[in-house]
Amino acid sequence: MCAVLPKTAPREICSESARSARTPGEQWRDTDGIHIEARGLAPPAPLVAIIKLVESVLDATPVIVHHDRDPVPLYAELAQRGWIAQRIEGETGEVRLRLSKGS
Amino acid sequence: MAIASTFLGGAKGRLLAPSIPFRFFATAVLFQGLAWLALLWAAPSVPRFAGGLGWPLASLHLFTLGVLMMTAIGASLQLLPVATRQAVPAAKWPYDLVWSLYTAGVVGLTSGMASAAPTVLLGGAIALASALLIFLFLLVRNLRGAKGMRLVVVHGWAACWSLLVLLGTGLSLAGGYSGLALFERQSAIGLHVTFAGYGFMGMLVMGLSYILVPMFALSDNPAPRWASLSVALAIVALALALLVSFGMLPTHFFRLYLGIGAVAFAIHVALMVQSLRTGMRQGLGKSFVLVRLGWTGLGASFLAALALEFQVLTVSGPTLFGVLLVGGLLTMLLGVLSRIVPFLASMHAGAGRRRPPTPSSLTAQRPLDIHFYSHVAALLTLLVAVLLDSVWLVRASAVVGVLGAAAFGVFFVNAWQRMTQIAPGIDVPTAPKPQA
The reported pLDDT for the residue numbered B2 is 37
Q: What is the rounded distance in angstroms from the CA atom of residue B289 to the CA atom of residue B285?
A: 7
* Interface probe with B: pick from A47, A67, A77, most Cβ of B within 10 Å: A77
Mean pLDDT of B296-315: 90
pLDDT at B6 over 60: no
- The pLDDT score that the predictor gives to residue B5 is 32
Q: What is the pLDDT of residue B122?
A: 95
pLDDT at B287: 94
pLDDT for position A75: 86
Residue of A42, A73, A90 with shortest CB distance to B148: A42
Is there a contact between A100 and A91 (Cβ–Cβ < 8 Å)? no
Q: Which of B78, B79, B153, B218 to mutate to test the interface with A (most CBs of A within 10 A)?
A: B218
Q: In chain B, whose CA is at the least distance from the CA of A45?
A: B220
**Residue in A closest to B11 by C-alpha:** A70
Give the pLDDT of residue B79: 83
Q: State the average pLDDT over residues A4-19.
A: 43
Chain A contact probe: residue of B15, B211, B212, B215 with most A CBs at under 10 A: B215
Q: Is the pLDDT of residue A8 over 50?
A: no
Average pLDDT over residues A79-96: 88
Return the domain boundaries, chain B: 18-340
Please list, in sequence order, all residues whose beta carbon lies within 8 angstroms of the beta carbon of residue B199, skipping any fewer than 6 positions away. B158, B159, B161, B162, B163, B165, B166, B238
Closest CB from A51, A72, A77 relative to B82: A72
The pLDDT of residue A73 is above 70: yes
Q: Supply the angle between the helices B118-144 and B150-176 in degrees, to the nearest 10.
A: 160
Q: Is A87 helix (H, G, I), strand (E, B) or coil?
A: strand
| pLDDT tens per residue, range B276-305 | 999 988 888 899 999 999 999 999 999 999
Q: Which of the residues A63, A66, A87 would you substitute to probe the B interface, choosing the one with the greatest number of B C-beta atoms within 10 Å?
A: A87
pLDDT value at residue A12: 39
State pLDDT tens for residues B209-252: 998 999 999 998 898 999 999 999 999 999 999 999 888 888 88
Give me the residue from A95, A96, A102 closest to B355, CB to CB.
Answer: A102
pLDDT at B108: 97
Confidence band, pLDDT 50/70/90 cuts, at residue B352: low
Q: Is the model's pLDDT at A6 over the cut of 60?
A: no
Burial (CB < 10 A; 0-12, 13-18, 19+), residue B430, is: exposed
Mean pLDDT of chain B: 89
Q: Which of B32, B188, B198, B186 is nearest to B106 (CA)?
A: B32
Smallest CA–CA distance, residue B422 to chain A, in Å, is 14
- pLDDT at residue B145, as a whole number: 83
Chain B residue numbers with beta carbons less than 8 Å from the beta carbon of A51 are 218, 280
The predicted-structure confidence for B354-364, as pLDDT tens digits, reads as follows: 678 888 889 99
Is pLDDT at B4 greater than 70 in this prediction?
no
A residues 35-54 lying closer than 8 A (beta carbon) to B: 42-45, 47-48, 51-52
Q: What Rg, from alpha-carbon coordinates, does chain A have?
A: 12
> In Å, how far is A3's CA from the nearest CA of chain B?
25
CA distance A100 to B343: 22
Q: Which residue has the higher pLDDT, A12 or B13?
A: B13
Residue B213 vs residues B59, B200, B217, B325, B342: alpha-carbon distances, Å? 30, 19, 6, 21, 15
Q: Using an 8 Å CB-CB cutoff, list chain A residues near B354.
A: 84, 102
Least confident of A38-47, B5-14, B382-391: B5-14
Percent over 70 (pLDDT), chain B? 93
Residues above pLDDT 70, as percent of chain A: 79
Domains of chain A in start order, with CATH, are 2-101 (3.30.110.40)
Q: What pLDDT sits at residue B425?
A: 64
B18-340 adopts what CATH topology? Cytochrome C Oxidase; Chain A (1.20.210)
The number of beta carbons lying within 10 Å of the beta carbon of residue B86 is 18
Closest-CA distance, B262 to chain A, in angstroms, reads 27
If you average pLDDT over residues A70-79, what whole number do you get?
85
- Largest Cα–Cα separation, chain A: 35
Q: What is the pLDDT of residue A13?
A: 40
pLDDT above 60 (res A63): yes
Tell me if B434 and A48 make a contact (CB, 8 A cut-off): no
Contact assignment for A76 to B359 by CB distance below 8 Å? yes
Residue B426 confidence (pLDDT): 61
Distance CA B10, CA B23 (A): 23
Over range B73-89, report the average pLDDT.
Answer: 82
Report the distance separating Cα B97 and Cα B75, nearest Å: 16
Interface of chain B toward chain A, CB-CB under 8 angstroms: 2-4, 6-11, 14-15, 82-83, 85, 148-149, 211, 214-215, 218-221, 280, 343, 346-347, 350, 354-360, 432, 434-436
pLDDT in tens, B16-36: 888 899 999 999 999 999 999
User: Which residue of A75, A81, A91 is the best one to mutate when testing the B interface, meaning the one whose CB has the most B CBs within 10 A?
Assistant: A75
Residue B308 distance to chain A (closest CA, Å): 40
What is the rounded distance in angstroms from the CA atom of residue B73 to the CA atom of residue B223? 27
In this model, does residue B73 exceed pLDDT 70?
yes
Q: What is the pLDDT of residue A2?
A: 44
Across the interface, do B82 and A96 touch by the CB < 8 Å criterion? no
Nearest to B16 by CA among B358, B424, B344: B344
Q: What is the pLDDT of residue B398?
A: 97
Rounded average pLDDT over B82-111:
89
* Residue B376: pLDDT over 70: yes
Residue B2 to residue A98: CA distance in whole angstroms: 9
Give how far B304 is from chain A: nearest CA, Å.
35
- Cβ within 8 Å, pair B11-A43: no
For residue B347, list chain A residues with Cβ-Cβ distance below 8 A.
72-73, 75-76
Instruction: Note the pLDDT of residue B136.
Output: 96
At A48, which amino acid appears?
A: V
Are residues B280 and A70, on separate chains, in Cβ contact within 8 Å?
A: no
Which percentage of chain B shows pLDDT scores above 90?
67
* pLDDT value for B55: 95
* Whole-prediction pTM: 0.88
Q: Does A101 touch chain B (CB under 8 A)?
A: no
What residue of B is the nearest CA neighbor of A40? B148
Min Cα–Cα distance to chain A from B228, Å: 15
- What is the predicted pLDDT for the residue at B88? 75
pLDDT at B427: 59
The answer on pLDDT for A9 being more than 70 is: no
